[in-house]
Structure 1
Amino acid sequence: MSNELLLIINIIVLYSGVLIWYKLFGSSGLLCWTVFATIAANIEVLILVDAFGIEQTLGNIMFATTFIVTDILSETEGKQKAQKAVNIGILTSISFIVVTQLWLQYTPSVNDWAFPSIQVIFSNTPRLMLVSLVVYVIAQNFDVWAYHKIWEITNKMCSDKNKYLWLRNNGSTMLSQLLNTALFSFGAFWGKYPIDTLISIVLSSYIIFLITSLADTPIIYAARKINHSIKSK
């Protein structure tokens, strides 16, 4: 199976998973998804693949689902609940980093076979871990702020808070993903690659995020319908 087909399947599975968790467990399901996606994306990002003519790390789609979660919660539950998801993701990242680094401090048994692989996977440099965490905090908080700012502007324009869902969803996500891509690329790789290479990394990564952002629009509309059905019961 090609990498391109696997990525398409990955989008369908993960985006559908967000809706299923929301349908089954409501906002609590989305908060749990945030924990799952944060941990999984931190592991998956270590894998590098070639797809659609672009060399890319995995984890982009999984990470994109955390933005879907905050947009759904912003739309259906309000800014406070969306901010709660962001805070849960931040604490999950910190806990994950601390725990995995503690694992590496152990002296393995002579009969151990897993430690070398664990060491390779979780021995990220402190710079990458710190940059990843700081960028996550900035991008996620900006996403929540931008979503409600765009909502406020469109509501004043047409006096209908239900209109322009596509605009606040795509607008906030695309801006926050641009911020995320630029800050992480320059923060993690400044001094390691020349400026033209860094710009190339930012552009190629952002193209992927644009596609995943546009693909999540039907998911947001479906989530709003699910919310209406839940409240009508």
Structure 2
Amino acid sequence: MMNELLWLCMLMLNFGLITLAWYFWGKQGLFIWIAIAGITANLQVSKTVILFGMTATLGNIVYAGSFLATDILSERFGKKSATRGVWVGFFSILAFTVLMQLALLFAPAPSDEMQIHLVAIFGLLPRIVLASLAAYLVSQSHDIWAFQFWKKRFPGPLWLRNNLSTGVSQLIDSLVFTLIAFLGVFPAGVMVEIVITTYLFKLIVALLDTPFLYLALRLRPPEKADTPGGE
């Protein structure tokens, strides 16, 4: 049960930090968090753990939490700001990956002890990197579109558009990543299992972020927030 308790603690900490970033720095704080989440998730995803009897990657919480940040941007400032946040995250992941791949090309000093560990962490196959970037861009773009779509259809219940947009977007993310990364590598049955288990954890995170969305918007009301004209 230790992993499960740590997972819940990380979940609450993740949402709490997003809320604090929004409260203290508004829109810019969310942009910063999206960049942090993109880099952190791509580091944590290299570690697999057992959660509730299933094998899962550790980056799901931080990555799925970035959808809370874009939903806050979408609700308060609209599609333009949320899309900008997505591109901030995409650029951060891409730049970090390129810089670390370049760092691996340097010949280590005879006394160096870190190269082997850096290779183990950052020596990613191009296919995995492509899968991660494609899944991020497609799923986040859908999340923004769907959030605005449901906001126009059902302008009242915030929880409804939050869960409808994020829930479907997380499924798209799992499908795109798995197909690009593992098609032809694993049998179809294994790929289906990967999609189901990955999506299950992301869906749990998506459902649990709803109270924090309400809290974030209450903590920083419109009169204290940046104005859409600040675009």
TM-score (norm 2): 0.94
Query: How far has the Cα of 1:231 moved from its partner?
Result: 2.6
Counterpart position of 1:210: 203
| Contact 1:22–1:30 (8 Å) recurs in 2 | yes
The secondary structure found in structure 2 opposite 1:49 is: strand
Query: How far has the Cα of 1:111 moved from its partner?
Result: 1.2
Tell me how far apart the structure 2 counterparts of residues 35 and 205 of structure 1 sit (CA, whole Å): 22
The secondary structure found in structure 1 opposite 2:49 is: strand
Counterpart position of 1:220: 213
Q: Deviations over 1:132-173 (max 9, x none)?
A: 111111111111001000101113xxxxxxx21001100000
Q: Which amino acid aligns with 2:92?
A: T
Tell me how far apart the structure 2 counterparts of residues 56 and 65 of structure 1 sit (CA, whole Å): 16
Q: Deviations over 1:182-209 (max 9, x none)?
A: 1111211111111111111111111111
1:136 aligns with 2:129: no
1:169 aligns with 2:162: yes
Tell me how far apart the structure 2 counterparts of residues 84 and 217 of structure 1 sit (CA, whole Å): 22
Aligned residues: 225
Tell me how far apart the structure 2 counterparts of residues 230 and 67 of structure 1 sit (CA, whole Å): 24
The answer to which of 7-16 and 220-229 deviates more is 220-229
The secondary structure found in structure 2 opposite 1:231 is: coil
**Structure 1 segments of 4+ aligned residues over 4 angstroms from their partners:** none
The secondary structure found in structure 2 opposite 1:56 is: strand
| Contact 2:151–2:161 (8 Å) recurs in 1 | yes
The secondary structure found in structure 2 opposite 1:113 is: coil
Q: Which amino acid aligns with 2:71?
A: D
Tell me how far apart the structure 1 counterparts of residues 49 and 157 of structure 2 sit (CA, whole Å): 36
Structure 2 stretches of 5 or more lacking a match?
226-231
Counterpart position of 2:84: 84
Counterpart position of 1:148: 148
Q: Which amino acid aligns with 2:215?
A: A
In the TM superposition, 1:101-140 aligns within 5 A as 101-140=101-140
Structure 1 stretches of 5 or more lacking a match?
156-162
Counterpart position of 2:228: none
Q: Which amino acid aligns with 1:148?
A: Q
Q: Deviations over 1:208-229 (max 9, x none)?
A: 1111011000011011112317
| Contact 1:76–1:227 (8 Å) recurs in 2 | no
